[in-house]
Amino acid sequence: MIDIRCSGCGQRYASYLPEHADKRCSRCAAEVTWDSLSPEARRAIDDAIARGAMAGLIAMREADPPILLPHAMDVLQLRSKAGPSE
Ligand SMILES: [Zn+2]
């Protein structure tokens, strides 16, 4: 187990993977992914998440570029916390 400081928010987290050093924590990585999506893709994914977690994960897999598990779980969590309003 190694201790890593996120390059985005500065939060410390532990990882077993040394190659994760200098990377962002899962939450910051999800924000970067979300910011890189087109407005259409964001709307489609948010609409799907409103119908349920599974629908949200499927919508992310169908996005361009696709967001795959396990990273999709981080994005799902990020958007679920964000709530329905922008
Ligand atoms: Zn972070």
Is the model more confident about 72 or about 12? 72
Determine the Cα–Cα distance for residues 15 and 2; give it in Å rounded to an integer: 6
Structure-token pair, residue 45 = 């994914």
Residues flanking ion ligand 1, Cβ below 5 Å: 6, 8-9, 11, 25, 28
Q: What is the Å distance from ligand 1's center to 6 Cα?
A: 5
Q: Which spans in the chain are helix H?
A: 26-36, 39-51, 53-61, 71-82
Give distance in angstroms: CA of 62 to centre of ligand 1: 26
Domain ranges in the chain are 24-86
Mean pLDDT over 1-18 rounds to 82
DSSP label of 34: H
**pLDDT tens, residue by residue, 29-71:** 999 999 999 999 999 999 999 999 999 999 999 998 899 999 9
Distance 77 CA to ligand 1 centre (A): 14
What pTM does this model have? Answer: 0.79
What is the pLDDT, as a whole number, of residue 18? 66
**Ligand 1 centroid distance, CA of 38 (Å):** 22
